[in-house]
Structure 1
Amino acid sequence: MTMAVDIAFFLGTLKQEVETYQVPVVELIAVQSRSAFKVLVATILSARTKDEVTAVAARRLLEKAPDPEALKALSISQIQELIFPVGFYKSKAQYLSKLPEALDAFQGQVPDEIDALVTLPGVGRKTANLVRAVAFDKDAICVDTHVHRIMNIWGYVKTKTPLDTEKALRKKLPKKFWKEVNRILVTFGQGTCRPVGPHCYRCVLEKHCPQIGVKPAKSPKKE
């Protein structure tokens, strides 16, 4: 029998824990720039890419192209050079090259609704939800592999895909956690609850976590 998960306790505990961790690059750009366009660009770049790589690439690109008009003036090869070595940089350069024209349908502004955001090149549900939550401070659940994996480890949901997890969380997760669950669990998932060999021995939730399907890393030996 799986223990019941007090999601408010779990997320509240982790929120305090990750306060000392590095701020995710997309949120940092949102705070520094207050620009939905810059948040969108950084979010597109961040897919399958480490934050430290995204941060450098986003800074280079946004210095040259801080708005859609400036981005439109860059060639695909120029964009590729500016964003390398983010993951799938060639595909992302294609998406970014098409982005200004796609935004023309919204008077050059980044839309704040999911259905509109997913019509933009390079934007799926995960990116759309993150932009909606971070750039516009609106209720959205951004579910990536970390959120999907950890919610299943806890037994809070029992799902097979991130999309299934998003649907389940929309029904179950209290709205007050929607905007921040991604930041909390992505940061936690990168640092402690890793996909391979999670560091359960140092986790603040070790005594409370069901650890469903988990093979923890061994605790380091004391000298």
Structure 2
Amino acid sequence: MSTDPRPTLITTARQFYQMGWMVGTSGNLSARMPDGSFWITASGRPKGHLTIDDFVRITLDTCKNEVNLASTQSNPQRQPSAETSIHAAIYRLFPKAQACYHVHSIESNLVCRYVTNDALPLPPLEMLKGLGVWEENPQVTIPIFANYLEVSQIADEICDRLKSTIPQVSSLLIRNHGVTVWASSLENASNYLEVVDYIFRYMVAEQKIGIRLS
């Protein structure tokens, strides 16, 4: 990604805010640069009204899940998102990932309550093709992680589990928190998030009317 991704991230954040996925200052978006650093939304900034200065550039440290502020910060007074360590973990785990989006949708929290273990089975919907699953009657799960006050602990668990078990789709859930997706481009990350949200909304509707699919 050679061009500045921030204008696209601003537009995307505004869209997600309007959809109710980034209420107030919640959620965070990031995009990786060619040098391996990444821009991420600053902490405490309203996602429906971001400006070019509401981002922090992060460089990855060689140590696990440690991050440093890059020398080319847009606004030195801004602090990076509280979930920066999760984005850093994704970029370390998946070198092809160029964007990572995290939102707090209602459905992503509801579906976590359908299971008590650490993986959520998804219905075999046609929409799974939008996540790269091209199988007949696919059996797909999304990993679920516990929500901790210390976000770096979440990032550590993501690293520990996903480095040995690659997820079937580029998405994960944090219980009672939200959903994270990553992709090879900003456009694909937006598409993935819309597809995942569709599947979650389907699951909530399915639960509401009592349908069970085999």
Structure number with greater Rg is 1
Do both proteins adopt the same fold according to a TM-score greater than 0.5, normalized to the shorter chain?
A: no
Q: TM-score, normalised by structure 1?
A: 0.35
User: Counting strand residues as a fraction of each chain, which structure ranks higher?
Assistant: 2
Q: TM-score, normalised by structure 2?
A: 0.36
User: Counting helix residues as a fraction of each chain, which structure ranks higher?
Assistant: 1
